[in-house]
A and B are shown apart, each in its own frame.
Chain A
Amino acid sequence: MLMRIAAALALMSLACRGGENRDAVADTSASTGTAQQGSAINAAYAATPAVQTVDKDAVAALDRMATYLRSIKSFRVTALTTRDEVLTNGQKAQYATTQDVLLEKPNKLLAKIDNDGGRRFLFYDGKTFTLWADGPRYYASVPAPGNISQLSDQLEKKFGIELPLRDLFLWGTDNQRGGAFTSAVDLGPSQIEGTSVEQYAFRQDGFDWQIWIQKGDYPLPRKLIITTLTDDARPDYTAVFDWNLAPSFNDAIFTFDPPDGAKKIVLAQADTMSASK
């Protein structure tokens, strides 16, 4: 045991010394070459487009995607998403959620959320919103506004509930945030699961984001990364979308019908909870 500790200590001290050496090397190169390297780097940057520009074509690609999304009357999207949380020491921890959303515009939605917290379903039939946790068999229902965009707003403000994948239906609605880009860049062609896509990078107040838009006649978002800049740790949200543009369903599935043993509970009010602290 003692020997192991000693060995570990020896390794640690070696590692530390290694670090010092590397630092020393870096310092040398920096002190000898700063001036020339700096001008060379500047020249290199001057030859390529500056990052802090808004490429009109990139914004147009986004608009084209939004227009296309607006034209789709119903769709089903499954997505694997990850979200970084930031621990109090600044360290990031990533958690994954699988989301399955069936949507019929303007006022029907059924979503399934699977993560470490269990499985929940969200029902919206244009009149009522219901959250159902089939593990504990709890559900809560509230009267809902007339369309999905309003529902998203209301749920977030009143109950702190984020509708899954809500960008997919907020794009192309009044809730879309537009025109506030400090940077917009076309990063070129790429592939997502065998599909040809174009990758774009945008910067807005407080966050950077990247989107991979399918090429061709169906400009669908296939991947999204949002990097939050308001926290030093820069936590990421990522989502990869799998689209079904011809889902089969009947409207009855958007209405929650409490199964046997379902127990009705309440949705905590967001403002009440925040105030009670």
Chain B
Amino acid sequence: MSRLLRNMIHVLVGLVLVYEPALAQRRGAGGGGGARAGSGGGAQARQAVQTRGAARTSVNQNANTNRTANVNRTTNANVNRDINVNRDIDVHRDVDVNVHHEYGYGPCCYHPVARAVAVTAAVATTAAVIGSIVNSVPPSCTAVIVNGFTYEQCGSTWYQPQFVGTNTTYIVVAPPR
């Protein structure tokens, strides 16, 4: 009985932690922007999957389809790991881990560059590592403009928003000032 109760708590805590990135995403998306938010209002992020490629989209031009065909070998963080309660003490980390695999491998927007980025991100497991990539930033971040470009400052961590292809992602950078 106590085990059942414990499991239930785990699930509940897990749900909250999984929901957290969804909130962050919704903020990042601002109601449907670059970050992947579910079509039903944002809380329900679509399942992320790893892809090995995609259909070419032009008969006259296509340099991308095979260029990074070898990028998808990395074992990425998965949803089940995020639900693991013992590891979810650092909420920031959870947000980022969850977010990594939603984009680069995310189902909406196959993009070889994005996939290359996601591999980089998979190596870096904490938000503070410079060069790691996320799809959204925590709601507590503040937009700061340095030299004309926008950064998101989240405590001591600085993110630089960027377009990868036509998708929005955030790369952790050294403090720009």
Contact = CB atoms under 8 A, between A and B. Distances in A.
Contact of B113 (A88, A207, A230, A268): A268
Nearest to B36: A117
A270 to B, nearest CB: 5
B34 A175 contact: no
A162 B110 CA distance: 11
B163 A86 contact: no
Interface stretch (A41-49, A100-108, A134-142): A134-142
A117 B113 contact: no
Interface residues of B, number: 63
B35 A136 contact: yes
B157 interface: no
B56 A156 contact: no
A204 B61 CA distance: 13
Q: Size range of the interface on A?
A: 35 or more
A9 to B, nearest CB: 26
B56 to A, nearest CB: 5
Interface of B: 28-37, 39, 46, 49-61, 63-68, 71-72, 106-114, 116-117, 119-120, 131, 143, 145, 148-150, 160-169, 171
List the 5 closest pairs (A to B, CB-CB), nearest first.
A135-B33, A116-B108, A235-B55, A160-B113, A136-B33
Interface of A: 81, 83-88, 90, 93, 95, 113, 115-120, 122, 131, 133-138, 140, 152-153, 156-157, 159-162, 166-167, 170-171, 175-177, 202, 204, 206-207, 209, 224, 226-228, 230-231, 235-237, 263-268, 270, 273-274, 276-277
